[in-house]
C-alpha cells in the first residue's frame, strides 16, 4: 500500500451496474493508497459490478457503496450493433436476471430490453446491499464523503489525484451501434419497461429533461 495516506484495515466493496465507472473509482482509490482490486478482491476490498449477482456473498465488508450512473449513458454503453445483447454482459448474468424477474428467457428480449432489465436489477440489488448510494456524475461532492468514511485525508493533493484520472476511463457511449439512447427511444422499445427505468432514475436523484428525452 502506498505511504501517501495512512489507511489501514479498511474493507470496502463498491458495486453497481456494469458500465457505471467502476474501473474509474477503483483507479482513483488505488492512487490514493487503498489496495482495492477492480473485479478481484485485494487487501482493502474490491470494486466490482458483479457483486450484485452474488460474486462476494462469502465475504463480509466493513463498508458497501453503490455507484450509479445515468441509465441512458449506461444503456448506450452496453449496446452493440443490430439486435444483439450487450457485449459486456455475459449470458449467465442475463440468465440470472431472467430467472429473478421471472422472464421466460433473456433470448426473447431485444438488446435494449435486456439492458434496461440489467440496469434496473443491478441498481435495485446494489442499493439494497449498500449503506450509501451516490451518482458518479456528482463524484466531486460524493468524494468528500468517500474519503471521510474510508479514512482518507481530503485535501488539495487528494483532489489533484482524483482529477488526474479521466472519469470516462472505460465507460463510453457506443455511437457505432445505436448511438446515444434517449428516453423516447427506450419508450419505443418497451414503454412499460422504460417507465420503470424513468421511475427508478428519478428515485436515484435524476431528473427528466424538459423535452423528456434524457436525464440529468
pLDDT band at residue 170 using 50, 70 and 90 as cut-offs? low
Identify the pLDDT of residue 9: 44
Determine the number of helices (DSSP H) and then strands (DSSP E) in the chain: 8, 5
CA distance 101 to 80: 23
Whether the predicted pLDDT of 162 surpasses 50: yes
CA distance 7 to 96: 36
DSSP 208: B
% of the chain residues with pLDDT over 70: 79
Q: 50 vs 90, which has greater pLDDT?
A: 50
* Stretch 150-164: mean pLDDT: 92
In the chain, DSSP assigns E strands to 12-15, 36-38, 45-47, 63-68, 132-135
Question: Which residue is associated with the grid cell 452493440?
Answer: 80
Identify the pLDDT of residue 58: 87
DSSP 137: G
Order of strands, sheet of 45-47, starting from the edge strand that comes earlier in the sequence: 36-38, 45-47, 12-15, 63-68, 132-135
Quick one: cell of 182?
434517449
* Stretch 148-170: mean pLDDT: 86
Identify the pLDDT of residue 66: 98
pLDDT band at residue 171 using 50, 70 and 90 as cut-offs? very low
pLDDT band at residue 173 using 50, 70 and 90 as cut-offs? very low
Identify the pLDDT of residue 77: 80
Domains and CATH numbers, the chain: 12-203 (3.40.50)
Phi and psi at 114, nearest 5°, equal -60, -40
CA distance 192 to 100: 18
Identify the pLDDT of residue 88: 52
The per-residue pLDDT for range 30-86, each reduced to its tens digit, is 999 999 999 999 999 999 999 998 888 888 899 999 999 999 988 888 775 333 444
Give the pTM: 0.84
CA distance 95 to 12: 28
Amino acid at each position: 500500500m502506498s505511504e501517501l495516506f495512512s489507511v489501514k484495515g479498511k474493507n470496502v466493496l463498491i458495486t453497481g451496474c456494469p458500465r457505471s465507472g467502476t474501473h474509474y473509482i477503483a483507479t482513483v482509490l488505488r492512487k490514493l493508497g487503498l489496495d482495492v482490486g477492480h473485479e478481484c478482491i485485494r487487501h482493502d476490498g474490491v470494486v466490482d459490478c458483479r457483486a450484485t449477482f452474488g460474486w462476494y456473498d462469502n465475504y463480509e465488508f466493513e463498508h458497501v457503496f453503490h455507484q450509479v450512473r445515468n441509465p441512458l449513458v449506461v444503456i448506450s454503453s452496453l449496446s452493440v450493433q443490430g439486435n444483439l445483447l450487450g457485449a459486456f454482459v455475459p449470458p449467465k448474468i442475463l440468465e440470472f436476471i431472467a430467472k429473478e424477474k421471472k422472464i421466460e428467457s433473456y433470448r426473447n428480449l431485444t438488446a435494449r430490453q435486456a439492458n434496461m432489465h440489467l440496469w434496473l436489477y443491478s441498481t435495485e440489488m446494489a442499493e439494497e446491499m449498500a449503506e450509501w448510494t451516490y451518482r458518479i456524475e456528482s463524484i466531486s461532492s460524493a468524494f468528500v464523503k468517500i474519503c471521510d468514511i474510508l479514512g482518507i485525508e481530503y485535501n488539495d493533493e487528494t483532489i489533484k489525484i482524483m482529477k488526474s484520472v479521466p472519469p470516462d476511463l472505460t465507460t463510453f457511449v457506443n455511437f457505432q451501434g445505436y448511438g446515444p439512447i434517449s428516453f423516447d427511444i427506450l419508450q419505443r422499445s418497451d414503454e412499460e419497461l422504460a417507465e420503470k427505468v424513468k421511475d427508478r432514475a428519478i428515485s436515484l436523484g435524476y431528473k427528466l429533461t424538459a423535452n423528456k428525452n434524457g436525464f440529468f
